[in-house]
Amino acid sequence: MLQAPILKVAIGKLSMANKGSKEKTKDRIIQSAKKLFAEQGFQKTTVVDISKQAGLSEAALYEYFQGKEDLLLTIPQLWVSELIQGMEEQLFGIKGADNKLRKYLWWYLRRVEQAPLDAKIVYLFLKTNANFLKTEVYANVRKLYAYLLDIFEEGRRTGEMKPDLDPYLARDIFVGTMDHMVTRWLLKDMSYSLFDNLEKTFDLMLDAFRNPRPFESSAQAEGEIQSASESGSGEEASSGQSAPEAGRYLQEAQG
């Protein structure tokens, strides 16, 4: 009677072990491809190179991936997903659009410096691939950049940024500047820090977005409400106080 439950437990453990082994093998393939793509470039790397680096046969590699392009489109997914989760945590509790933009830029470039292989694959190989726009990675990249739209919209609403600022255009300028900085850094073999002169670059961008009269826009709405309120009160006051005031002035004149 006890044999059936014991057999089920044994099969379950074996299944979990096989699953864990497959995940490790898949990760080994990904890490091998990442290293070779970054060192040799995507075009020069072959499936044979990757399988050798991973210690597998070419046939075994095809059990996990359809080819090197499949690997190219898979590798950045984890990195970009982690960026999205991290960005949400980093921006939590920060007040002000300017401060959020600064945090976004500094933290994003920090993560690029911490994961140069992932950044190299994304910026130098993946973004130039014709199928990139069809991938889940691209969908997640859009989510990552959507934070910027929210920040620019907040800045416009609070008066920190120009009232006629187009959030989409502002995002494109911001992302374009980031992409240029990262691509140049990668092409120059990461020979300097991404944070060199970053303060000046950030100030130049912010000057293009910033409202020259930061409190005017936010105060305008308040002013209109207050003005309407005072106007209503004024009408009541004039109708209610005009008679006593006229009487007082008449008494003074007669005295």
Identify whether residues 40 and 162 lie together within a single domain: no
For residue 129, the domain's CATH number is 1.10.357.10
Residue 251 domain-assigned?
A: no
Identify whether residues 84 and 183 lie together within a single domain: yes
Supply the pLDDT for residue 5. 63
Identify whether residues 196 and 129 lie together within a single domain: yes
Residue 236 domain-assigned?
A: no
Identify whether residues 46 and 78 lie together within a single domain: no
Identify whether residues 61 and 87 lie together within a single domain: no
Q: How far is C-alpha 17 from the chain's CA centre?
A: 36
Contacts of 138 (CB under 8 A, 6+ apart): 132
Residue 240 domain-assigned?
A: no
Give the whole-angstrom CA distance, residue 148 versus residue 102: 11
Residue 108 domain-assigned?
A: yes
Identify whether residues 107 and 141 lie together within a single domain: yes
Residue 139 domain-assigned?
A: yes
Domain final position from 47, 65, 83: 65
Extended strands (E) in the chain: none
Whether 199 has a pLDDT exceeding 80, the answer reads yes
Range of the domain at 226: 73-230
Identify whether residues 20 and 85 lie together within a single domain: no
Size (the chain), residues: 255
Give the whole-angstrom CA distance, residue 251 versus residue 213: 50
Residue 244 domain-assigned?
A: no
SS3 62: coil
What's the chain's average pLDDT?
Answer: 81
Give the whole-angstrom CA distance, residue 231 versus residue 224: 10
pLDDT in tens, 99-109: 999 999 999 99
- Rounded to two decimals, what is the model's pTM? 0.70
Identify whether residues 127 and 225 lie together within a single domain: yes
Number of domains in the chain: 2
Identify whether residues 139 and 104 lie together within a single domain: yes
Supply the pLDDT for residue 74. 82
Question: Tokens 């190179």 correspond to what residue?
Answer: 49
Residue 86 domain-assigned?
A: yes
Give the whole-angstrom CA distance, residue 85 versus residue 82: 5
Identify whether residues 99 and 200 lie together within a single domain: yes
Supply the pLDDT for residue 220. 56
Identify whether residues 93 and 170 lie together within a single domain: yes
Whether 246 has a pLDDT exceeding 80, the answer reads no
Lowest mean pLDDT among 9-23, 46-60, 170-184: 9-23
For residue 26, the domain's CATH number is 1.10.10.60
Supply the pLDDT for residue 243. 41
Identify whether residues 49 and 1 lie together within a single domain: yes
Residue 238 domain-assigned?
A: no
16 versus 94: the higher-pLDDT residue is 94
Supply the pLDDT for residue 196. 95
